[in-house]
Chains A and B, each alone.
Chain A
Amino acid sequence: MRTPRFVVVLAATLAVAGCEKKQQGAPAQGGAGAAAGAAKAGGDTILLGHVGSMSGNEATFGASTDNGIRLALEEQNAKGGVKGKKLALKTLDNQGKPEESAVAATRLVTEDHVSVLLGEVASSRSLAMAPIADTYKVPMISPSSTNPRVTKDGQKTRPYVFRVCFIDPFQGTVMAKFARDTMKISRVAVLRDVGNDYSVGLADYFSAKFKELGGQIVADQSYKAGDQDFKAQLTAIRGRNPEAIYVPGYYTDVALIARQVRELGMKQPLMGGDGWDSAKLYEIAQGALDGSYFSNHYSHENPSPVIQDFVRRYKERFGEVPDGLAAMGYDAARVAIDAMNRAPDLSGAAIRDAIEQTKNFDGVTGTISIDQDHNAVKAAVVLAIRDNTAKYAATINP
């Protein structure tokens, strides 16, 4: 009895494994020749690839970005696509892991021959994709990886890697300037997400600039994304009596932090970065963030038709207010589309050159120009939260 059953299971599992191998082997053989060359657009569609965290603990960011990209593609298709061809999107999940991002990016590039690679949210995953974009000469646009190293390979700029978001040094500096010049405060506590490169980067650059401007960092505490209880750190911060608390994290955690700040009887304003931008922040914080400030790419109040149309159409399509990551995904896809329209042909090198020449592109998240380091140069706005909504407070130019 034991052996037959055993053999059946073994055969089944080997069959599964065998099939997988075959599946992946077949396109790879064909891809061997084409991989090194430019991405070939098959037939009358242009395929774009997105590597995102569709599952795992950052799935909510991956899903938003994917929605933003989809919206941009659908709009362009309604206008007739690019060069008479329809746009299509293939998204591969990376479960929030760097090594899976590398595999997913390789698959998109060598099996599906995507013209442009979009992704990832977190810098540590974009960093795993960047060498692949360079190796196979496929342009990659990261919607929201803010670490300066993403577009850099040592000292030199990675030729095929771009981004449409701020980099940490700029955004950290913006808030430090705003705190000193406009809020006129000199004692700030920092609460950072120690496992998140975005948060650590912002916190470091903020602290450096703030001290340089004559301010004082009275406490530097950390939490881990997914924590539910922050009262230990906040109680310690309360003992130092700061004038404001800088919390450069994602809205998923910041809303709870804000509530617990108020529950501990602290009246100080909080300050943060573009990771705050989401309707969920206000829904969960329930007014706890009133009086706080954060830096962002754009303001929902801005009457610009690009922004208002985007917000309206996103709501129609997905039934929710877009968060910052959706807007970044939308812009990344539109910068790619714009470059494909301008490029003489759809080879990787041509698209790359066109992206590099992007100047004053009118995006949702600001007027985007790509600089020589392949970063987006755009102004930051500082938003003030009043009556549980964000109001425009100031614009700070790079």
Chain B
Amino acid sequence: MTEFLQHLVNGVSLGTIYALIALGYTMVYGVLKLINFAHGDVYMVGAFSGFYLANALGVARAPSLWKAFVVFVVSMMICALLGMVIERFAYRPLRRRARLTALITAIGVSFLLEYGFQLPSIPGLGIPFPPGPTPRFFPQPFQTVGWQPFGVYVSNYDVISFVVAVALMLALQYVVFKTRFGTAMRAVSFDSQVAGLMGINVNRVIAGTFALGSALAAAAALLFAGSRPKIDPLMGLTLGLKAFVAAVFGGIGNVPGAMVGGLLLGLAEEYVAGYTVSSYRDGIAFAFLIIVLLVRPEGLFGRVRAEKV
């Protein structure tokens, strides 16, 4: 029973991270019908901006809460900007083209970020940028404190990351469903041409969507790196893939779906690895996904759209 509960805690802590990244995939897909392959690498850039900021502020020497807050918010802003830049230069010129075209530039951007960050540092810059392939230690804003209720180990990082993630998701839910921007976003996602005719600035909405998704990826990166303080240029590869799976699982294009999908994927992986053969962990996660898709091809929360001729 203890083991079962421990898996539950672990799974939720992992799942919330998947969910935050999956939100970026799903929102971009919603408005552009594009799998943003570079999203996992935006996540990586988020972790590294946090790393450089934390070092500049001296978080490792004198950790404090407000420094952590500054690092958190500024990293999110940097990634939001990065997301908008990627959209403007790699995707917007191809928006009226076949969808797979933008997919290839997405792959290109993804490679560019991954391999660009693996380059040796530029001398004379003062900071080690690009970071190079060696993993870096992410400075911790505060000490890890653990509790053990009923033999289940929970750390303060687990709690904080869960609370922040849920708060961000609630905030996003508010933005999407209660604000003018969110309404515009949903309109663009429903039919971008008609939305344009209704006076919505489609370009601005799409740029905003990228900014929002990328900022969430940065938040996920910092929450994740706080308790697992190893960051490297390829850290977004596997995690991005899994988050994408989670987004599809929940019904891609659907915001609550991504949250539930991420959480369920985290739990599924955790229980599969914990109770069966862990060497099949990835395989079983995918097999599970495939079965779900075969039974419910539109994902858990996706709507079946009648196909028009």
Q: Give the interface of A toward B (CB within 8 A).
A: 55, 57, 59-60, 62-63, 194, 221-224, 226-229, 231-233, 235-236, 238-239, 252, 255-256, 259-260, 263-265, 280, 283-284
Whether the pair A55, B135 counts as a contact (CB closer than 8 A) is no
17 example contacts (A-B, Cβ-Cβ < 8 A) are as follows A55-B133, A59-B133, A62-B133, A63-B133, A194-B279, A222-B279, A222-B281, A223-B278, A229-B10, A232-B271, A233-B278, A236-B274, A255-B230, A263-B153, A280-B134, A280-B135, A283-B137
Whether the pair B146, A239 counts as a contact (CB closer than 8 A) is no
Whether the pair A265, B153 counts as a contact (CB closer than 8 A) is yes
Whether the pair B146, A233 counts as a contact (CB closer than 8 A) is no
Chain B proximity of A93: nearest CB distance (Å):
10
The count of residues in chain B whose C-beta lies closer than 8 Å to any C-beta of chain A is 41
Whether the pair B278, A235 counts as a contact (CB closer than 8 A) is no
Which A residue's beta carbon lies closest to that of B9? A231
Q: Give the interface of B toward A (CB within 8 A).
A: 3, 6-7, 10-11, 13-14, 115, 118, 132-135, 137, 144, 146, 148, 153, 155, 224, 227-230, 232, 234-235, 237-239, 269-275, 278-279, 281-282
A284 to B140, CA, bound (A): 11
Whether the pair B137, A284 counts as a contact (CB closer than 8 A) is yes
- CB < 8 Å neighbour of A222 from B7, B11, B275, B278: B278
Whether the pair A259, B228 counts as a contact (CB closer than 8 A) is yes
- CB < 8 Å neighbour of B275 from A226, A236, A255: A236
Chain A proximity of B71: nearest CB distance (Å):
19
Q: What are the residues of chain B within 8 A of A222 when measuring CB–CB?
A: 278-279, 281
Chain A proximity of B130: nearest CB distance (Å):
12
Chain B proximity of A251: nearest CB distance (Å):
8
Whether the pair A226, B238 counts as a contact (CB closer than 8 A) is yes
- CB < 8 Å neighbour of A57 from B3, B234, B273: B234
Whether the pair A256, B3 counts as a contact (CB closer than 8 A) is no
Query: When A55-B115, A57-B234, A60-B133 are in contact, do A263 and B281 touch as well, CB less than 8 Å?
Result: no
Which A residue's beta carbon lies closest to that of B5? A235
Q: Which of B14, B144, B272, B278 has the most CB of A within 10 A?
A: B278
Q: What are the residues of chain B within 8 A of A63 when measuring CB–CB?
A: 132-134
Q: What are the residues of chain B within 8 A of A194 when measuring CB–CB?
A: 279
Chain B proximity of A118: nearest CB distance (Å):
19
Query: When A55-B115, A224-B282, A238-B3 are in contact, do A263 and B146 touch as well, CB less than 8 Å?
Result: yes
Which B residue's beta carbon lies closest to that of A192? B279
Whether the pair A236, B132 counts as a contact (CB closer than 8 A) is no
Chain B proximity of A259: nearest CB distance (Å):
7
Chain B proximity of A172: nearest CB distance (Å):
18
A260 to B270, CA, bound (A): 14
Chain A proximity of B60: nearest CB distance (Å):
11
Whether the pair B230, A252 counts as a contact (CB closer than 8 A) is yes
A283 to B115, CA, bound (A): 24
A260 to B153, CA, bound (A): 11
A106 to B281, CA, bound (A): 37
Query: When A226-B234, A226-B238, A280-B137 are in contact, do A263 and B7 touch as well, CB less than 8 Å?
Result: no
Query: When A233-B278, A263-B144 are in contact, do A284 and B6 touch as well, CB less than 8 Å?
Result: no
Query: When A226-B237, A227-B238, A238-B3 are in contact, do A284 and B144 touch as well, CB less than 8 Å?
Result: no
A224 to B237, CA, bound (A): 13
- CB-based closest 3 A-B pairs: A59-B133, A232-B273, A222-B279
